[in-house]
Amino acid sequence: MSARTDVVVTGLGATTPLGGDTASTWAAMLAGASGITAIEEEWAAGLPVRIAGRLAVEPTELLDRVQARRLDRCEQVALVAAREAWADAGRPQVDPERLAVVIGTGTGGALTMLGQDDVLEASGVRRVSPHTVPMLMANGPAAWVSIDLGARGGAHTPVSACASGAEAIALGLDLIRLGRADVVVAGGAEACICPLTLAGFAQAQAHSTRNDAPGLASRPFDTGRDGFVIGEGAAVVVLERADFAAARTARPYATLAGAAVTSDAHHITAAHPEGQVRAMRRALAAADLPPLAVDVVHAHATSTPKGDLAEAQSITEAIGVHPAVTATKSMTGHLFGAAGALGAIAAVLSVRDGIVPAVRNLDDLDPEVKLDVVTGGPRTGAVGAALANAFGFGGHNATLVFTPA
């Protein structure tokens, strides 16, 4: 099969701190809303971090009660988002052997692991749930989605920290272009807001400590940024071979024109701009587009002092300073394994709607950032190509390029 097989996005699904579906999340992004709130529960009282981007709609409200009890929260959100995306795509009639699933995650069922370890310590082995292992395994979200949809063409799980969701979509593109699938359900899921993660990121000085002002805490590219804010949720897209979608008269949102995945081989937590530059350049080469064709960049931009600046420099080197740049983590917080997939959805909708969300809380642009960052309100205008970045601890870099269908 040709390496240039056209692949289109026909379905979108999301559950995030801004909304329980794609439409409400996108509307909230355009409105500049914040999904970051204070953690009021007693378990957070002694922590240095007491804010997070928690889900706007509980997944248990959308799932069968018995099924929900047997799923980790990460699996729950993956299933919710995948079902929305599948319905949005019109539930394609496809040979199950030609339908694949790729759902990435950073921590998988960590909440189950921690919770069941507490049960073991407090009450003994006989009180540990027999569903523990299927709930904690990282491939659980992909496995459950594949079972739910009857997908027999493979169920894959990239675990690439905060690049996982974007890498999943890149793998979905490869599966179709390699002729191994006609339709791929791809994205990311994460749900790990708990004392251990909050304490760990606080100790690493990576998390914002603006506990008194949750909505102001995530501020990408701003001089006052002091770290990211942990979030939870899932984002999933349906990818199809373009001629397959056309044959069933589907209406694509956009074309996934190219993707690239690179690694820094540099440091376990510190990014190396050269790896990010390679990812963007390779993605554009795969899309057969020059840098000047890029109108919009949905930046990874987590709101860390070093990370935002490294990405800004990478964008400048790989693409230039002409594109409009946005950073939606200012509103959602950082969804880790789901972040890249949610950024991809925002990029797709920017292409479809010709609108780019503004960065929230950007009051004083870092003078070292030379980019055209969108502030004050959404920016409108035709978008010929939108690029979405996702980077993660371990030196993982993933870039996706979307163009009009």
pLDDT tens-digit map of 27-85: 999 999 999 999 999 999 999 999 999 999 999 999 999 989 999 999 999 999 999 99
Q: Name the pLDDT band for 270 (thresholds 50, 70, 90).
A: confident
pLDDT of residue 272: 85
What does the DSSP 8-state code read for residue 48? S
CA-wise closest residue to 339 among 230, 188, 207: 188
CB atoms within 10 A of CB 318: 23
CB atoms within 10 A of CB 66: 7
Q: What is the pLDDT of residues 284-305, one digit of tens each?
A: 999 999 999 999 999 999 999 9
What pLDDT score was predicted for residue 273?
83
pLDDT given for residue 1 in this prediction: 39
Concerning whether 194 is annotated as a catalytic residue, the answer is no
Confidence of residue 319 (pLDDT cuts 50, 70, 90): very high
Task: Report pLDDT digits (tens) over 241-256.
Answer: 999 999 999 999 999 9
Catalytic residue check, 396: no
Average pLDDT over every residue of 145-158: 98
Q: Find the catalytic residue in 162, 207, 272, 298.
A: 162
Q: Is the pLDDT at 165 greater than 50, yes or no? A: yes
- Please give the pLDDT value at position 269: 86
**Alpha-carbon dihedral of residues 142, 147, 152, 158, nearest 10 degrees?**
0
From 156, 272, 334, 396, active-site residue: 334
Confidence category of residue 347, pLDDT binned at 50, 70, 90: very high
Q: What percent of the chain has pLDDT over 90?
A: 97
pLDDT digits (tens, 9 = 90+) for 363-395: 999 999 999 999 999 999 999 999 999 999 999
Calculate mean pLDDT across residues 257-271: 93
**Rounded Cα gap, residues 58 and 148, in angstroms:** 19
In this predicted structure, the answer to whether residue 2 has a pLDDT above a threshold of 80 is: no
Helices (H), 8-109: 22-31, 65-69, 73-88
Asked about 272 being catalytic, the answer comes back as no
Question: Model confidence over 172-201: pLDDT tens digits?
Answer: 999 999 999 999 999 999 999 999 999 999
Q: What is the pLDDT of residue 129?
A: 96
Residue by residue, DSSP assigns 129-178 as -TTHHHHH-TTHHHHHHHHHHT--S-EE----GGGHHHHHHHHHHHHHHT
- Over range 113-135, report the average pLDDT: 96
The pLDDT assigned to 3 comes to: 52
Q: What is the DSSP letter of 266?
A: S
Which whole-number Å values give the CA distances from 362 to 303, 331, 358, 367, 391, in the listed order?
10, 11, 9, 12, 21
Would you tell me how many other CB atoms lie within 10 Å of the CB of residue 249?
7
Q: What is the mean pLDDT of residues 263-270?
A: 90
